[in-house]
Structure 1
Amino acid sequence: MKTIKLLAFLCTGALFFTSCSSDDDNPDPVNEEELITKVTITLQAENAETVTMEYSDESGLGHDHDHDHEGEGAEDDHDHDGLEGVVSGPLKPNTSYTGSIALWNESVSPAENITDEIKEEADEHQFFYQAIGGLEIDTDYLDKESDYLSTDSSNPVGLQFNLTTGAAGHGDLRVVLRHQPKKPNTGLDDAGGETDMDISFHVHIEE
């Protein structure tokens, strides 16, 4: 699974056969992988209990799981093999929740806050939230790239969002993080990019 990319420097020589010299002032940047081992979504509403959704995997989300969808048109709303997390309780019908998502790498000590990495690369990441299986949920982005970067871009990121429930029922809430998606886009179907994370939560809406 492809995860958040951190910038590192690797000395390279001609034809990649010579060793790095100590006076190389312009090393070539390469990407290193950063694990996402824990995801927490918090949903808050004025007249409802706070609901949390959590997924954790100490080996990294999706490690050894074949669900790394890549490229444009790779998604199917009804046929995905995302990993399922734990939900603290039901959501209330016809209620508007303010949502936030946070990601960590807890394989190291102290744990790394991957949320900060996404903010620093907000123009290269976007979260997508999909209701599946009859779940009546709509989501809207509350943040944009200009909230985290020195830019006037209004392209969404998805660390903050609004979630509105409909009638009672149950189904899956799918959460996907894309790296270098096409922006703007109309959703996962034309987002392109690479999948950093693909998880789901079985959600109940009830009184």
Structure 2
Amino acid sequence: MNFIMLSRTMRSCGVLREITGSLQCRSFQTDFIARDPKAKPIKYKYPDFYNPYGPRPPPSDKIVELAERIAALPSEERVQIGPTLREKLLHPKMQVIATEGMDLGGAQGGSAGPAKEEKKAEKIAFDIKLEKFDAASKIKVIKEVRAFTNLGLKEAKDLVEKVPVILKQGVTKEEANGIIEKIKAVGGVAIME
């Protein structure tokens, strides 16, 4: 029975092939040209730098004349060109960047004299760091950490297990002392940085 079904299927495919022709043998590359095997590969010259806007046209005669006149000015007058142009073109004024408190490396200027003593500002914001705790009081420490950090149970547990870790940043001295005392009462050791 299977042989009969198979022969009918094969006959019907033959009939179908005669009607439609072979659809699988189309050539889509009619303009294909075979490459010469003896030809050398094409070498492209890369530009020195990438310019997304393409080549620029040369400056006009007016601009060249203006550049020559500016170059002929004395240095005192050339210094005044930038601020004057900024004012005329209504560009925003450049803001001075404060470098106070930054370590700029050679800020002393290499002078051999003694460095000036600067007054250190009194620190007003402190960080609380959990140094260690007793293994028996781990649960109490986690509960206390949850109380002042507003963390969930899992987050507080993960934080306590990473000892030593900073628990809270930017608190006042009074608040920091209160938190340290609470942690000490439940069996942990915290310090103020």
Q: What TM-score bracket applies, with the shorter chain setting the length?
A: under 0.3
Larger relative contact order (CA 8 Å, sep ≥ 6): 1
| Bigger proportion of residues as helix | 2
TM-score by length of 2: 0.19
The structure having more radius of gyration, on CA atoms, is: 2
